[in-house]
Amino acid sequence: MTIEVKDRDLISIQEARNVVQMAVEAQAIYREYDQAAVDRVVEAVAKATEAQAVRLAKMANEETGFGKWPDKVVKNLFASKQVYEYIKPLKTVGLIREDFEKKIFEVGVPVGVVTGLVPSTNPTSTTIFKSLIALKAGCAIIFSPHPSAKNCIIEVIKIVRGVLADLGAPKNLVTCVTNPTKEATHTLMTHPQMNLILATGGNAMVHAAYSSGTPALGVGPGNGPSFIEKSADIPLAVKRIFDSKTFDNGTICASEQSIVTEAPIRQAVMEEVQRQGGYFLPPGDSERLEKILMGPGGTMNAKLVGRSAEYIAQAAGITIPKGTRVLLGEETRVGDKYPYSKEKLMPVLGFYVEENWEKACARCIEILTLEGAGHTMSIHSQDEKVIREFGLKKPVSRLIVNSPAALAGVGATTGLTPSLTLGCGAVGHNATSDNVGPLNLIDIRRVAYGLRELEDLRPKGLNEGGMSTCSGSMAGDEMVDVLVRKIVERLKASL
């Protein structure tokens, strides 16, 4: 008797098991590629995805409703072109480094098969990025798409697989589960042949990755404040913050979540914010928006994520000036009960004013401790002393100086490693503080030649009894007796 399986969860679990086996077989072939062959694959994939940046951006915007498709084009080009240019010269497989003085050489070894978890906020760009770094590292990658962005993610994978097939490389180096469920993702993460999880997404998903028993590189939430210090170029500081917070409607987790400034420049900052399209909500309207910013359990209201200021205002039942780009709520408190102090992946900012930079520093730490520890924050200042103090004290992995945090944190406007997976370090309960790249997906085998013999390590005069023969031919026990007698004599003399 044939049993027809109709349960979606069971189908997705079996699919997950199947694609793992396919990826294992593909990676067994690919791991024999030398650096030149790997680089040809990576270059071809980068060019193919770059060519489809506009189409994929429109697909992502239409499917998820998040952000703005022109900004998603920028993300896709960043993920394909800028990431590729950075990783292009890296040595990742075979002989990658030699130290002739220490007589050590290092060999890059792919970790193997990787699970790539993809968020709905940056679906196509993250899929392009993770495909490139996995292939550069000699790995296979299996994607678990976010259900609300499944189609655009699968389209990226189709493009990549087409390139692999054209090159004669195993196309199952990049694959996915087409029926994404929690059970399928769990199956991927806990599969005995899975070597690493590359997790980008919400807290629950990242926690599940770290709890799976498989090594994982996950990222935590962002909640970065942006400090405008009194020496800052205020118009430029506000421009950069708004460039960042309105980019794709604030869906990059490194984007600013609040502005913190000093009392002496409060009025100047507020006027500039308003001049550039910011709107300070009156107390009543601020409370109305506050009530809908967070959903059940204190998490962001998914219906507002990546939406425009106008859309958010309508949802809250408030009227805002035409042309408003960012909504701001003045706040003096920090905590789970105060949404303006939390992460908001939308053009909404909390606004704090402190007496001086020292108190602003403490306020920023308080905000980060609530949420976003280890991630990213920014400072706008011309005072190198203050910048250095922030760099020394803030519990973040990236302190952005005079640049839009969303674009700077991922390495688009700074010299940081271009990445769409930003580690938060131990303070953020992550395994790395890196901007994750291909070097995070390889093991390094070190081949070390001997430089010294045992006799070279043993102190001169040390006999087999373990005691120094400091007194010529004196035996170890005898020497101890002499030392004890001398100590006793000194004690007696001091009494």
Point out the residues that are catalytic. Answer: 253
Best CA proximity match to 159, nearest among 171, 170, 169? 171
Write out the DSSP string of 327-353: EEEE----STT-GGGS--SSSEEEEEE
SS3 of residue 321 by DSSP = coil
One-letter identity of residue 257: Q
Best CA proximity match to 105, nearest among 94, 113, 89, 114? 94
Best CA proximity match to 90, nearest among 26, 149, 133? 133
Quickly list H helices, 349-400: 357-370, 384-393
User: Is there a contact between 80 and 132 (Cβ–Cβ < 8 Å)?
Assistant: yes
> What is the number of other CB atoms lying within 10 angstroms of the CB of residue 366?
16
Handedness of CA 273, 275, 278, 280 (dihedral sign): positive
Best CA proximity match to 71, nearest among 254, 191, 246? 246
List, in sequence order, every beta strand (DSSP E) within 204-347: 216-218, 225-228, 258-262, 278-280, 326-330
SS3 of residue 178 by DSSP = coil
Q: What 8-state DSSP symbol labels residue 294?
A: B
Quickly list H helices, 449-475: 454-457
User: Is there a contact between 418 and 76 (Cβ–Cβ < 8 Å)?
Assistant: no
CA dist 349 and 329 (Å) reads 6
CA dist 270 and 155 (Å) reads 44
CA dist 110 and 434 (Å) reads 18
CA dist 435 and 423 (Å) reads 6
CA dist 42 and 143 (Å) reads 18
SS3 of residue 412 by DSSP = coil
